[in-house]
Structure 1
Amino acid sequence: MQFPKGFLAAAIAAGIKPSGKTDLSCVVSDTDCVWAFAGTRSTTAAACVTRNREVYAAGGPVRALVVNAGNANAATGKRGANDNADIADALGSVLNVDQDAVLTASTGIIGHLLPMDKVLSGVEHLPEDLSPQADAFAAAIMTTDLVPKTASVTLSTGATIVGTAKGSGMIHPDMATMFAFAFTDAAVDQAALRAAFPAIVNRTFNAVTVDGDTSTNDMALVLANGQAGAVDSAEFLTALEGVMRDLARQIAADGEGATKLLTVRVAGAATEAEALAAARTCCVSPLLKSALHGNDPNWGRVIMAVGRSGAGVNIEKMTVAVQGTPVFAGRPLPYDAAAVSASMKADEVIFDVNLGVGEAVGEAWGCDLSAEYVSINAEYTT
């Protein structure tokens, strides 16, 4: 997959990851980009989130993003903040742009200082390998991910949007998520983009969960360099949301230890916020996730999760269906449990829920809970 016009990327193995895999990467635009950003609301946010938030508030254009994987540079004090700024300054110097035009992102183990000699040496050499190909960048930002995550769309004008993301564990975003980066050559208004971005993030990345844990480094970005010319605003925002929805689903499907994607579609809610809350609470429920892993159509766990989500419900009008089979409609319905269980042996299992109180809808994505999830995280640093 190629990046949109004017964007180039590079990825190298700088020695941050013990595995020797690529762990330092960048995406560079040859012209200024307008942009939108969302960063975690965690009160222990990493240095990259804090700095990007400050740059975002200043409102200036950006030219590049540099990402390191294998080290979160979180809970590392003033040294970590200075190291993060030095990375931006180093790439800015190589590209001959101001350091405030360079965004940073770090992912990996919390509480470890970056090996700055390796990082800065790598940053110096990154621009030597710039290419329009997106695949190497998508792979370089991974940590426990099993597969790279990319999505793209072409607008009616020929402008394109290309998205990349990483995330597999510690996934329960509280603003954005993991890493999600979108790049476009469409010419868009920065104020309009920033106004629309939070709602798009809320319906996509804030609607995905793997394990209920919000990261210190979560962020979502969209950079637009305008090189393909003007586009219809409504078409662009719809397409951008589609790319981000695709990435969110890929993240859920690649959850640590996951064997299947969980989709919960909620209708009949009083508000979109309540619909999303109900859907996301179902997706994060350890009981429902365990039932999903065992192909157990225990719809009572949906009733339980919705009930604690805070969403308004009319239990007498509420309905639940599993893989298209109605199992509850204000009361238990007769159904073939063996047949429904068999239908759950699929790559994606869908629960449809109607809360019976309004017209709003929402959708969230998660995955099953397997013994492999425990194994991965029991041995993450050892």
Structure 2
Amino acid sequence: MYLPKGFLAGATASGIKPSGKPDLGVVSFLEPAGWAFVATTNRAAAPCVLRGRNLYSRDVLLQGLVVNSGNANCATGEQGVRDDARLAELAAGFLGAAADSVLTASTGVIGVPLPVGKIEKGIGNIKLQSELDPFAEAILTTDTRVKLSEQRLPGGARVVGVAKGSGMIHPQMATMLAYLFTDALVPQEELRRNWPAVAHDTFNQVTVDGDTSTNDMAAIFSSGLSEADGVLFWEAVREVARDLARQIAADGEGAEKLITVRVAGAYDVSDARLAARAVAGSALWKAAVHGNDPNWGRILAALGYSGARFEPERVSISLQETVIYDGGAVPFNGVALSQAMQAAEVVVEIDLRAGDGAAESWGCDLTEEYVRINAEYTT
């Protein structure tokens, strides 16, 4: 996939990952870019997140992005802060930009010093190009595949997104590293006004395992080189973000199935989000999905503790387009429904019949492979 006008990217294997896979990616902004940014609410946030917040508060334009994978540079003390600043300096030198115009990000194991020396030696090997795929590969950790998405606007402007995320994902912010690039001419003030709501409705509705990462961030960057209709632009942004969110959920650690939960009839949108996330994140329901077990009681229980307002005798629940609960138990063919749950995507549709609020959430099944991956993560 190719970047919009005004952006070039590249990647290399600098030796951070023992596997020798690509682990350092850079995006060059050929023109100073407007941007918007949201980051994790985890109190143990990594230096890259703290630095990003500082840049954001100063309202500067950016000229680059650098991401390393395989090392989170988190819980590494003052040395970690210095190492993150050095990462920005190295990328800025490579790009011919000022260090304060480069956003940094790190992802990987917590508590291990960032091997800046390896980055110093490796960054010069990066070849910048319009293709985004090498960068998309370099930011992965336990992901099994790259995550890319694109929308084209009338007149030629484009919105292109890239993300990584597989484990330690739970709604608090944007729940991963996710970056959207556009050549649409959009003022920075407008980006910052609208981007948080996009992240809230998409990335914040992803849950894999109930853990919120220390390094999560999501950002959008605009080179401003193409004209675009504002309404159509934000529709495209939302679609790219939604697509990336679904890809992240489907690639949850050890996942075999994507779980989609659609809630309608909630008291308000906030309640709809709560209800959808509770079901998508229920460990009991995730395990049931893995086992193809249409155990609707686990869905109802998750709704009950979600914080959403509703009366159980008014609720309707459908699974794979089959009604399984409507104010009470209803008869259904359990064998046929279990077979339907063997699909790559399992869809739960809920009507709370309490208002007009609606929302979606995405998760994945809970498998034995998830336990193995996280039991052996650093050993």
Q: Residues of 2 paired with 1:321 and 1:125: CA distance?
A: 53
1:345 is matched with: 342
Q: Residues of 1 paired with 2:125 and 2:258: CA distance?
A: 39
- 2:352 corresponds to which of 345, 350, 355: 355
2:267 is matched with: 270
1:211 is matched with: 209
Structure 1 SS opposite 2:65: strand
Aligned residues with identical type, % of pairs? 51
Q: Residues of 1 paired with 2:333 and 2:96: CA distance?
A: 67
TM-score, reference length from structure 1: 0.98
2:174 is matched with: 176
CA deviation map 1:88-117 (0-9, x unaligned): 112212322211110001000000001111
Q: Residues of 2 paired with 1:80 and 1:166: CA distance?
A: 22
Q: Residues of 2 paired with 1:201 and 1:66: CA distance?
A: 21
1:302 is matched with: 299
1:153 is matched with: 151
2:60 is matched with: 60
1:82 is matched with: 82
Contact 2:66–2:103 at 8 Å: present in 1 too? yes
2:310 is matched with: 313
Q: Residues of 2 paired with 1:90 and 1:287: CA distance?
A: 46
Q: Residues of 2 paired with 1:243 and 1:5: CA distance?
A: 17
Structure 1 SS opposite 2:363: strand
Letter in 2 for 1:39: A
- 1:144 corresponds to which of 142, 145, 166: 142
Letter in 2 for 1:226: G
- 1:233 corresponds to which of 230, 234, 238: 230
**CA deviation after TM superposition for structure 1 residue 317, in Å:** 1.2
**CA deviation after TM superposition for structure 1 residue 122, in Å:** 2.0
CA deviation map 1:257-279 (0-9, x unaligned): 10100000000101111101110
Q: Residues of 1 paired with 2:136 and 2:125: CA distance?
A: 19
Structure 1 SS opposite 2:63: strand
CA deviation map 1:260-302 (0-9, x unaligned): 0000000010111110111011111110000000000001101
Matches within 5 A, 1:187-226: 187-226=185-224
Query: Structure 2: where are the runs of 5+ without partners?
Result: none
Structure 2 SS opposite 1:316: helix
Matches within 5 A, 1:11-22: 11-22=11-22
Letter in 2 for 1:51: R
Q: Residues of 2 paired with 1:53 and 1:306: CA distance?
A: 35
Q: Does residue 366 in structure 1 map to residue 339 in structure 2?
A: no
When the two structures are aligned, how many residues end up with a matched partner? 379
Letter in 1 for 2:258: L
Q: Does residue 250 in structure 1 map to residue 234 in structure 2?
A: no
**CA deviation after TM superposition for structure 1 residue 125, in Å:** 3.7
CA deviation map 1:141-196 (0-9, x unaligned): 00000000000010012101110000101011311121101111111011111111
Q: Does residue 106 in structure 1 map to residue 106 in structure 2?
A: yes
Q: Residues of 2 paired with 1:172 and 1:123: CA distance?
A: 32
Structure 2 SS opposite 1:16: coil
**CA deviation after TM superposition for structure 1 residue 121, in Å:** 2.0
Q: Residues of 2 paired with 1:335 and 1:118: CA distance?
A: 59
RMSD, aligned α-carbons: 0.8
Contact 1:315–1:356 at 8 Å: present in 2 too? no
1:3 is matched with: 3
CA deviation map 1:337-366 (0-9, x unaligned): 111111101000000011110011000000
Q: Residues of 2 paired with 1:68 and 1:173: CA distance?
A: 23
1:30 is matched with: 30
Runs of 4+ in 1 over 3 A off after TM superposition: none
Query: Structure 1: where are the runs of 5+ without partners?
Result: none
Letter in 1 for 2:317: V
Q: Residues of 2 paired with 1:96 and 1:341: CA distance?
A: 58
CA deviation map 1:305-346 (0-9, x unaligned): 010000001212110001000111111111111111111010
